[in-house]
Chain A
Amino acid sequence: MNEIKLVSVKNVTAGYDNKVVLTNVSLDIYANNFIGIIGPNGGGKTTFLRLLTGEIKPFSGSISFKNDMSIGYLPQASQIDKKFPISVTEVVLSGLIGKQGLFGRYGKNEKQLALEYLKIAGIENLGKKNIGELSGGQLQRTLLCRALISQPQLLILDEPNTYVDNKFEGELYELLNKLNQKMAIVIVSHDLGTITSYVKTIACINKTLFYHESNQITSEQLASYNCPIQVIAHGPIPHTVLLEHNHKH
């Protein structure tokens, strides 16, 4: 068991423009975690991720990170400017910016590394393409490569399964399973059915955070967490995801 604590969120209140989105959120993230975040739209899922990545600071409470913590972040594809003149390889290389720093040079070794990640994502033939020419799924793969190339200790994914074909979705979850041996993963998803078969634990976020130490969750538990999300199971699911509660009619 890898019990190194990467992030410690304590009693955090956060939001934008003095408008509070999250109140009293606490969560510890350990090196071996694979946490699925669920919750209704506008409940604060993305806000929570922004706290983890350091994009926003909490109004109150504290977030502490392990020394030299590195984060790979896969934002929602809609946040990317697809008209920006930049190639797939360059986007992947930009994932190294934390390591390379302000004066960073990107030579043969870095480009070779980028190519390896493109191969993992199955898009090695797209390296020279401009991001504007990509499909939604190809863009997601590119952004995943960017998040992975720095070999982060914590990988954060914001709805990686929107705009993505089913094939990639399956591949993605298998890949994440493998990656979880090396890094902690936090993933936001609407798709409760699929997500729960891969994650280890679940966090429900709706104005605050309820942590559920298992990947199996019942509708009643969801209701008690004040987490009104639609439970729809998709396609063939490896094992029971949502426990049926025992009805006594």
Chain B
Amino acid sequence: MLLAMIKFFEYQFVQNAFIASVLLSILIGLVGSYIVARRLVFLSGGITHASFGGVGIAWYLGLNPIAGAAVFAVLTALGLEVLTQNKKLREDSAIGMLWSFGMAIGIFFVFLTPGYAPNLMSYLFGDILTISSTDVWLLVALSIITLIFYAVFYHAILFYAFDPNYAKTQHLPVVFINIILKIIIALVIVFSIRAVGIILLISLLTIPANVANLFTNKFTKIISFSFLVSMISLIVGIIFSYWFNVPTGATVVLTLIILYLIARLIISIRNSTRLTKA
């Protein structure tokens, strides 16, 4: 058993998976907290699914599918801003359209591509063990950029997120903050595709911040707490993927749901003991 463990950690792809899950958890902590606080869960789901269009086109052209997904994700994020400007189209409707549009493009090009596509499943359901060293370096870069952005603009981000209209009346460059944050969200989504897959990604953006929010209302604490929660779920995901050969995404989501239920249980026990004491 011990030998198997040692051997397990000697594999380059296992090491990559662990480093990636630490970096991804940092990003999920920062971005997921913002998404949940600002109620952007549906929008994030839209960006996630629309990015499949990029996967499909890149697949057809023989390019890197993640690069294709990145282009589609960022274009969707920015496209939503343009479509909903002047309120010509309601935001949830615009999300619904781009969500299915991207998926349709993806399916279209995947079927145009000759031959069998066995790896395609990993984009839909996630396989954290396929993360390459290049992916890890890209994750390092994105993590550094995002951390610096949050550190420098922390209060501007928090105050903008709380009340964008007020920030606008105080002449804060709200368009700048909004666009940069949307691009970061799009890129974090793309890098999470490898780990949990397009279909289940929304849970990684939503559940850690909600678990954290059960215990604290402070934004910085929600960020660090959701980092921990997503870290636990990704590590469980790696272990199950390796030993039982099940898709990482499913394991991560089930772990997250279990963690959320445990958190709810802890809160209700705490509340009931408080009541009996009182």
Residues of A within 8 A of B (CB): 16-17, 53-55, 71, 73, 75, 79-81, 84-87, 90-91, 93-95, 97-98, 100-106, 130, 132, 146, 150
Contacts and interface: CB of A to CB of B under 8 A. Distances in A.
B163 A94 contact: yes
Most buried by B among A71, A93, A94, A132: A94
B211 to A, nearest CB: 13
B12 interface: no
A21 B222 CA distance: 41
Interface of B: 37, 39, 86-88, 152-153, 155-156, 158-159, 161-163, 165-173, 176-177, 213, 216-219, 222
Given A86-B162, A91-B162, A102 B218 contact: no
Contacts of A104: 155-156
A86 B219 contact: yes
B161 A97 contact: no
A100 to B, nearest CB: 7
Contacts, number: 85
Contact of B169 (A73, A100, A105, A132): A73
Contact of B162 (A55, A73, A81, A106): A81
Contacts of A91: 162
Contacts of B216: 85
B37 A85 contact: yes
Binding site of B, secondary structure by majority: helix, strand, loop or mixed?
helix
A55 B155 contact: no
B151 to A, nearest CB: 11
B166 A75 contact: yes
22 contacts: A16-B87, A17-B88, A53-B169, A71-B170, A73-B169, A75-B165, A79-B165, A81-B163, A85-B218, A85-B222, A86-B158, A87-B218, A93-B159, A94-B159, A97-B156, A97-B159, A100-B155, A101-B156, A102-B153, A102-B177, A103-B153, A132-B217
Contact of A97 (B152, B172, B217): B172
Contact of B165 (A55, A97, A132): A55
A55 B149 CA distance: 26
With a 10 A CB-CB cut-off, give which of A81, A97, A150 has the most chain B CB atoms. A97
A105 B167 CA distance: 16
Contacts of A54: 168-169, 171
A236 B11 CA distance: 81
Rank and list the top 4 A-B pairs by shortest CB-CB distance, nearest first.
A98-B170, A94-B159, A130-B217, A53-B169
Nearest to A132: B217
Contacts of B152: 103
B130 to A, nearest CB: 35
Contacts of B177: 102
A87 B37 CA distance: 13
B86 A17 contact: yes
A203 to B, nearest CB: 20
A101 B155 CA distance: 9
Given A71-B170, A103-B152, 9 more contacts: A71-B169, A75-B166, A81-B162, A84-B161, A85-B222, A93-B159, A97-B156, A98-B171, A100-B155
A132 B9 CA distance: 46
A150 B166 CA distance: 13
Contacts of B159: 90, 93-94, 97
A94 B166 contact: yes
Contact of A102 (B86, B158, B165, B173): B173
A146 B167 CA distance: 11
B60 to A, nearest CB: 39
Contacts of B169: 53-55, 71, 73
Given A103-B153, A132-B217, A81 B39 contact: yes
A105 B173 CA distance: 16
A97 B219 contact: no
A125 to B, nearest CB: 17
A206 B20 CA distance: 59
Q: Which of B161, B165, B166 has the most CB of A within 10 A?
A: B166
A17 B87 contact: yes
B168 A97 contact: no
Nearest to B33: A85
Nearest to A79: B165
A85 B213 contact: yes
Contacts of B172: 97-98, 101-102
Nearest to A53: B169
Nearest to A71: B169
Contacts of A87: 217-218
B170 A102 contact: no
Contacts of A100: 155
Contacts of B217: 85-87, 130, 132
Given A84-B162, A98-B172, A105 B219 contact: no
